[in-house]
Structure 1
Amino acid sequence: MSGWDDYWTALAEGDRDLAITFIQRALDEGAAPREVLDEFVLEAQHRIGELWLEGEWTVAQEHEATAVSESLVHWLASVTSRSPTLDGRALLVSCLPGERHALPALVVAEGLRMEGHRVHYLGADPEPSSLLSEVLDLGPRAVLFSGSLTSALGTQKSMLVSLRALGVPVVVGGQAFGLDARRARSLGATAYAPSIEAVVEVLDRLPARLPRLPDLETVPGEAEGAWLEDARPELAAYVVRQVRRRVGDEGGTPDWWTDYESNVDHLVGCLGAALVTGDDTIMLEVREWMARMLTRRDAPPTVMELTWDTLAGRVRGHPMARLLLASA
């Protein structure tokens, strides 16, 4: 879409007004609002994430650009949304509990408003019991969850099963769920949708209320996954301490330590998610991601293996967890 380079420059400079000018120009040239969301806002967000991963952007730069993107989504919805139909039930859109990346959920919420849907938007990291109370009070047509962090998936099954028991359709999407419906189905979701267009298509096919569904099968690693989530803070802290002790003076520049603690917590969370969903590709993804992050931040070459081996040693009494680590 024309105007991308100008838009990106405005976004990178944190210039909201200039960014809106370029989006307005795209609309005047015939771009549909959904195209703007996909080809400007979401594409830019992907690039922002890549620049942070590569160490070319700081967290502060990422947050500033994301704040501009969020304000742009609100503005776009305010000038393009259709009046909602009032004869049907609303949709509830939210991030998963524990998920703080709110922009994708906001894009879904406002994108659906642009299509004329009534939407209740809860935002980032809702408290699970409050979310369930909101569902009971609202009686939504469906609940739509966005998840960006795979490490958040390990704690979601009980909530999705509760919604399943209430007969409320649950549609999930986002980077955390991978490229197909396997992780979504394993957690009890009704459907997986990778885009706003897919969400609209799914909603058109959903029944008003789900029939009684069979209980989800327990996967072999689920009990270990529950233990690991409970022990996650202690496990992550242990790995960080041991790696710091063993690296010693080899650590060189301290830059790579800045994100290392949160990276290890993410790794442990991904192991829990792999156990609960039964999807071993999660560990392949997080190993590749973490190795790339450490390399771009000039961490000593031994850190990745030290991290992996230290975590494997700490979970040696849990065979499924060790198997997942070994297989990756």
Structure 2
Amino acid sequence: MNQLRSDYWAALESRDRAAALTIVKAEHEAGRTATELIDELVVPAQARIGELWLSGLWSVEQEHEATAINEGLVHWLGSFAPEPDPDRPTVVVACVETERHSLPALVIAEGLGWAGFRVSYLGGDPDPDHLVREVLLTRPHAVLFSASLTSSLAPQKRVFAELRSMGIPVVVGGSAFGGDPARAAALGATAYAADLAEAIDVLEQLPGRLEQVPVPDRTPGDVEGEWLVEQRHVLVEGVVARLLDRMGHADRRLQPVWWPDLVGHVDHVVGCLAASVVTGDETIVIEVRDWLTQVVEARGGERAVVGDVWSLLAVPLRGHPLSRLHLAAGAPAAAESSQKGSTSSAVP
């Protein structure tokens, strides 16, 4: 990764959109390409934003404001892309459903546009029906999905299978996939691409149309994963309510400062558990427990809170053996490596 540039970071840190744009404009006029500017300015800065949120030094609001500046600048750079080559194929680029961290998908979409592809960009958390209509309308060469949060992965196996059943390749990328093709393959994706260059290589090598693959039968992991997704809200509410009782903070004025965010954090844990069960990848649960430990401790909480979350979540999982097995796989890891964190989860 390129070194964080101090003047650009200063503009983001103060949420000064005009100053950030001035820097990018000057570099662009000096001959720097859009891809170079994104790699040298946007990507390192976005990584730093995530680190500051994870460490508790930045709020979600600060992260969102700085990220919005980065996204706006990527859009601005994309306006200089040449007209798409009419002989090049159309590709659809989107985040997976429920994934709102759209900057990585935007970078890929604009990068493919600069490479001459015709791109239909659907952004973050696309409506499933809209996605299907777009696919049927454009009959794309491939659909590219981006996922930053591992907790968003479990429902995607069905989506990928439906696209593959139409003979449309599915290419995936993003930190949620853990940096290698294993999780992508477990979800039925055609290919995994770590960055823009790999995505272009994959698209260049794909045939015009793949063989239609029948939607596979549901596995026991799929069944339990679907149950976890369907019951996610109920499970989270139950864990948080029982944790509140256990902590003895009936008076909300006495709750710790990190409490308001705990619902979202527990929701992320349940989503990651579902992803672990569906993909058969127990490291997802290990990663998210290390992540939750780091988040809680960085905000003044005690590590014991994480153990409480785990024990309370295990109770409603009775009768769901795979879920309990995967949850238990994460239990010993946090005590041994609570400071490690998770790159696939280290975002608000």
Q: Is TM-score (shorter-chain normalized) higher than 0.5?
A: yes
Correspondence 1:76 to 2:73: no
- 8 Å contact from structure 1 (residues 3, 26) kept in 2: no
TM-superposed deviation, 1:220: 4.2
Q: Does the residue aligned with 1:97 lie in a helix, a strand or coil?
A: coil
TM-superposed deviation, 1:113: 1.2
- Note the aligned Cα RMSD (angstroms): 1.9
- 1:178: which partner in 2? 178
Cα separation, 2, equivalents of 1:108 and 1:127: 20
Cα separation, 1, equivalents of 2:4 and 2:270: 41
TM-superposed deviation, 1:3: 7.8
TM-superposed deviation, 1:216: 4.7
- 1:317: which partner in 2? 319
Q: Which amino acid aligns with 1:50?
A: E
Cα separation, 2, equivalents of 1:3 and 1:231: 42
1:12-31 superposed Cα distances (whole Å, 9 cap, x missing partner): 11112211222234345554
Cα separation, 1, equivalents of 2:174 and 2:95: 10
Q: Does the residue aligned with 1:93 lie in a helix, a strand or coil?
A: strand
Segment drifting more, 133-142 vs 251-260: 251-260
1:207-264 superposed Cα distances (whole Å, 9 cap, x missing partner): 1101244765755422111111111110010000011110125996621112100000
- 8 Å contact from structure 1 (residues 247, 303) kept in 2: no
TM-superposed deviation, 1:32: 3.3
Segment drifting more, 215-224 vs 252-261: 215-224
Cα separation, 1, equivalents of 2:138 and 2:293: 44
Segment drifting more, 290-299 vs 28-37: 28-37
- 2:54: which partner in 1? 53
1:29-79 superposed Cα distances (whole Å, 9 cap, x missing partner): 554322222232122111111111111111111111011011100111113
Question: What percent identity do the matched residue pairs reach?
Answer: 48
TM-score, scaled relative to structure 1: 0.94
Q: Which amino acid aligns with 2:69?
A: V
Q: What pairs up with 1:92-171 in 2 under 5 angstroms?
A: 92-171=92-171
TM-superposed deviation, 1:2: 7.9
Unaligned runs of 5+ in 1: none
- 8 Å contact from structure 1 (residues 3, 22) kept in 2: no
Q: Which amino acid aligns with 2:97?
A: P
TM-score, scaled relative to structure 2: 0.89
- 8 Å contact from structure 2 (residues 143, 168) kept in 1: yes
1:91-147 superposed Cα distances (whole Å, 9 cap, x missing partner): 111111111111111111111112222111111111212211210011111111111
Segment drifting more, 153-162 vs 87-96: 87-96
- 1:24: which partner in 2? 25
Which of the two has greater helix per residue?
1
Q: Does the residue aligned with 2:237 lie in a helix, a strand or coil?
A: helix
Q: Which amino acid aligns with 1:160?
A: F
- 8 Å contact from structure 2 (residues 95, 123) kept in 1: yes
Cα separation, 2, equivalents of 1:78 and 1:275: 42
Q: Which amino acid aligns with 1:90?
A: T
Cα separation, 1, equivalents of 2:257 and 2:304: 16
